[in-house]
Structure 1
């Protein structure tokens, strides 16, 4: 997702001497298992800004890339039981509004009007953004690549990255691959959950850990429809993502899953997910799971991406570790890096995402609006 966005935005600005290296087929990795949420409700300025700046692109995706994308603005609704958490989300909402995000703080009854049938007696409140929504990650990759390749960007699939080509001083002069060397003045590691392993091939440590994340598709149920918001019960992390056909995607109780390179469905968690859903959404008791799948999220210790230059190797950059937010932030990330390289500075402050922040012995800002 990130690599193809970078390639697209470079080509859109007229810089087309770009090669995308993919060890398999484009879009078949973590992207293929993402659920496609797009939300602006975050606690940190940079995470809010990256999605806010991405929204116009998602809305005009076909006009920009030439290929369709169905961005459904069904809204995001966060349900909050803990008064302290509600106070934190109210503070988040003030920051979000200051950055141009239209967010509402609701009482429990107002939340139930948006998603009928939720249990409200133990809710403290809710927050809601009507302009947020979801889209297909696979279609997004196809659009990024289609637009970039029409402009002359090269895609090398089934090509494995083997290491850097450097000069005597350590500066990057290209990449070694299973299909031969590629000369380049700049190499970007956008390897998602595999970022740490790719970093080792370059001689640097990229503190990104892969974590399995699972989701489940359900049968149709009366009352479910695609205009309902994606709703998250923050007490448990359980979410319901209604689909146009009256079905839903559910999940969200596996944030504590240990790091692993293998993404498999942990069916032992289904009972606890069902209990969480039954408690908060009693009207959905008739839902039945028809299939489950799992992918890998690329997590960092502060739930922020790692974006910027690797100073040990001039010409080496990283754009990884998006902690589950890479799809929604990808337009702004691609645009920011393209501007940074071609004009000398990004359009927003990306300092909080600098690769060196974990080695600077400073306490990084934590993203707290996560589930």
Structure 2
């Protein structure tokens, strides 16, 4: 493993050992960790160290395109998504970076009356919170996305304010702005242990030295359970592989389409540079840290496409990508402060929704660190909900 270094594109100096002390140590240099670092630095916290075992944004945040949406079934997730959407729209000004945000909308394809009824209920809640989503018929769904077959399609849900952006550009944008404010990024630095005394973390140990600290934030994604164990904090997060594929360049070019999801199969597709991107959650995928991309997975997508978007089933592909979801028992995030270790905070377990919620969550963790009332009440997302018997309604496991 190479020596640690500051974020290479930032004005921060390089260093060979991690700083010996910090006010806040953030474990994880993905979109959640960099968003938290940016918001804390913006609030005036100066002695911040982000510890990342590889390069910034190389975990789940490294996926090529991330969806951004506010179409959820409960008010809390709707608010997190909607607040983050507004932040992504303002990203060129704050923190100041082009993230290639493309507001193409999200289109959920529904094939049963029960699905349609559930989405109608969700849309009433979304509309009440300012989300411009609506139910549409099969014909309009086809007009929005010409690849969609209307056979067996009952209805669709569409919100024109949703879309997709580039997670790597978001990570870089947050990290560069944070570095300008003095945040240290210790990349290629692994956390090896956490010291506690009573109900407090006292130090984070890395393979490049120990950091005594006042606060620790776990934003380690799929690796969060292990980090929590080091501090004696139970974070029920399991890693699950998710795969996607890219078509060969299309000629004529693909029409500009919404981020389109077949709700029954979880198959999804949308524009990507000179072609399309395909994805699907394999229901038989075992837990684990394997990120090998497989042709067998692609056949699952093609089978789903034959029913819902037949033209996609035989498109030539140019390889793909595999990454990890950080999944909790109810597919909702873990955000909060440990009840057992008072200066250990966490933002993890987003079950595929981390990128789209990262701006709002960065603000919330900032507020928790500074003992402010958070801009959004995330108390239902505390990790203790699984032992207290207060799980919230599971979100559908789709992007």
TM-score (norm 2): 0.88
For residues 158-200 of structure 1, what are the alpha-carbon distances to aligned partners after superposition, in whole Å with 9 as ceiling and x for unaligned?
1111222333x23122312222221211101111000111112
Partner Cα distance (1:184, 1:226) in 2: 52
Residue 240 of structure 2: aligned partner: 211
1:313 maps onto 2:341 in alignment: yes
Residue 101 of structure 1 and its aligned partner are, at CA, apart by 0.5
- 2:282–2:300 CA contact under 8 A, matched in 1: no
1:15 maps onto 2:65 in alignment: no
Distance 1:332 1:49, change over 3 A: same
Residue 53 of structure 1: aligned partner: 83
1:243 maps onto 2:293 in alignment: no
Partner Cα distance (2:296, 2:173) in 1: 37
Q: Which moved more, 1:77-86 or 1:10-19?
A: 10-19
Residue 8 of structure 1 and its aligned partner are, at CA, apart by 0.3
Residue 299 of structure 1 and its aligned partner are, at CA, apart by 0.5
Residue 226 of structure 1 and its aligned partner are, at CA, apart by 6.0
- 1:172–1:313 CA contact under 8 A, matched in 2: yes
Q: Unpaired runs of 5+ in structure 1? A: none
SS of 1:159's equivalent in the other structure is coil
Residue 223 of structure 1 and its aligned partner are, at CA, apart by 6.2
1:205-354 map, 5 Å: 205-222=234-251, 225=254, 227-245=256-274, 247-354=275-382
- 1:74–1:226 CA contact under 8 A, matched in 2: no
1:120 maps onto 2:145 in alignment: no
Aligned residues: 369
Which structure 1 residue ranges, 4+ long, deviate > 6 Å from structure 2? none
- 1:107–1:124 CA contact under 8 A, matched in 2: yes
1:356 maps onto 2:384 in alignment: yes
Partner Cα distance (2:50, 2:281) in 1: 35
- 1:307–1:319 CA contact under 8 A, matched in 2: yes
SS of 1:65's equivalent in the other structure is coil
Residue 284 of structure 1 and its aligned partner are, at CA, apart by 3.4
- 2:281–2:398 CA contact under 8 A, matched in 1: no
Partner Cα distance (1:254, 1:171) in 2: 40
SS of 1:113's equivalent in the other structure is helix
SS of 1:368's equivalent in the other structure is coil
Residue 79 of structure 1 and its aligned partner are, at CA, apart by 0.5
Q: Which moved more, 1:34-43 or 1:346-355?
A: 34-43
1:106 maps onto 2:106 in alignment: no
Distance 1:117 1:322, change over 3 A: closer
- 1:6–1:335 CA contact under 8 A, matched in 2: yes
Partner Cα distance (1:226, 1:7) in 2: 38
- 1:225–1:244 CA contact under 8 A, matched in 2: no
Aligned CA RMSD, in angstroms, stands at 1.7
Distance 1:226 1:88, change over 3 A: same
TM-score (norm 1): 0.95
- 2:347–2:365 CA contact under 8 A, matched in 1: no
Residue 96 of structure 1 and its aligned partner are, at CA, apart by 0.8
For residues 67-119 of structure 1, what are the alpha-carbon distances to aligned partners after superposition, in whole Å with 9 as ceiling and x for unaligned?
32111001110100011011001111111111110101001111111011421
Residue 112 of structure 2: aligned partner: 82
Distance 1:136 1:363, change over 3 A: closer
SS of 1:330's equivalent in the other structure is helix
SS of 1:185's equivalent in the other structure is strand
Residue 203 of structure 1 and its aligned partner are, at CA, apart by 2.1
1:2 maps onto 2:40 in alignment: no
